[in-house]
A = this chain, B = another copy of it.
Amino acid sequence: MNRINKLFNIQYPIIQGGMIWCSGWKLASAVSNAGGLGLIGTGSMYPEVAEEHIKKCKAATNKPFGVNIPLLYPQTDEIVSIVLKEGVKIVFTSAGNPAKYTSLLKENGVTVVHVVANKKFALKAVEAGVDAIVAEGFEAGGHNGIEETTTLVLIPMIKKITETPLIAAGGIASGQAIYAAMALGADGVQIGSRFAASVESSAHPNFLNAIVEAGDGDTLLALKQVVPVRLIKNEFLQQVQQLEKSGATKEELIKLLDRGRAKKGMFEGDTSVGELEIGQVSSMIDSIEPVEKIMKKLVAEFNETSNNLSGLKL
């Protein structure tokens, strides 16, 4: 039992990233039932939808689960109120200032984790009093840092500046990678892409197939002027790049995005002109699997790696 298992009272220190359009109650409850920590991704949900997912998740599992709240949307206050009202005990915040909600959440008995992509925000999160930090590298699919620091460099960097429990994210879709993250000093991992491509994912099958088909070099960290996100290369990304090349302002880029591009791509399945957020490690994902099978494989790979490296000395 390590610090992350204890903090969340879970069997495996494996957290499923709260992803827009992928991680509703079905995915979150499946991950929690399989011994990890499932997170409902509220980034793509209206408050009433988030409430419904929380209620359904409570009905679907008696294991701990949590909610991810990106702090960049206007309805964050409402989402936080619902989380408190529904008695959700674990909240991961991301894409914003951790100082804003951490105290309120903790006063209400909520375990709070903040997602960071650089040293500066890691220190802010520690100062805000979070219970753990997710350090997410350049490989990751979600909102990313302008520093472009990769998981391999980021984890030891954050480990060096704080004793706060540390969860590694970005590029992790195998037990080998979980083991590597722990060698670097992480207490646990957050996995996005591998769970996005699961049977329980709420994303459109076309998007799931695009994840499976993505190979080496098929994603790019895009929209660096707005909010850096990693996308599968498609017509939409070409539109973004053309706009950027023509010297478009941040506002013009936001306008292009605001046409519900993420929903169109990930939920409605338009893989051509929709926005397809996914991690670089999608290049290593070649099947859509049930969560239970994914979790068993991760654990088996981890234990096999541990056996193989046992006693290894230089």
Which residues of A does B touch, CB under 8 Å?
A: 12-14, 118-120, 137-139, 145-153, 156-157, 160, 170-172, 174-185, 215-217, 220-221, 245, 247, 280-281, 283-284, 298-299, 302-303, 305-306, 309-314
Contacts and interface: CB of A to CB of B under 8 A. Distances in A.
A310 to B, nearest CB: 7
A150 B147 contact: no
A139 B151 CA distance: 10
Contacts of A217: 118, 145-149
A171 to B, nearest CB: 4
A220 B148 contact: yes
Contact of A150 (B152, B178, B303, B310): B152
Nearest to A5: B314
A309 B150 contact: no
A215 B119 contact: yes
A85 to B, nearest CB: 35
Nearest to A246: B247
Contacts of A302: 313-314
A37 to B, nearest CB: 14
Contacts of A176: 156, 183-185
A14 B104 CA distance: 49
Q: Which 8 A-B pairs have the closest CB atoms?
A: A147-B217, A180-B180, A152-B171, A119-B216, A180-B183, A150-B150, A179-B183, A299-B314
A150 B177 contact: no
Given A118-B217, A119-B216, A157-B283, A183 B310 contact: no
Contact of A153 (B147, B171, B175, B220): B171
Contacts of A184: 176-177, 180
29 contacts: A13-B314, A119-B215, A119-B216, A137-B150, A137-B152, A138-B148, A138-B150, A149-B216, A149-B217, A149-B280, A149-B283, A150-B150, A152-B171, A153-B171, A153-B280, A153-B284, A156-B177, A157-B283, A157-B284, A175-B314, A177-B184, A180-B181, A180-B183, A183-B305, A183-B309, A245-B247, A306-B312, A306-B313, A310-B310
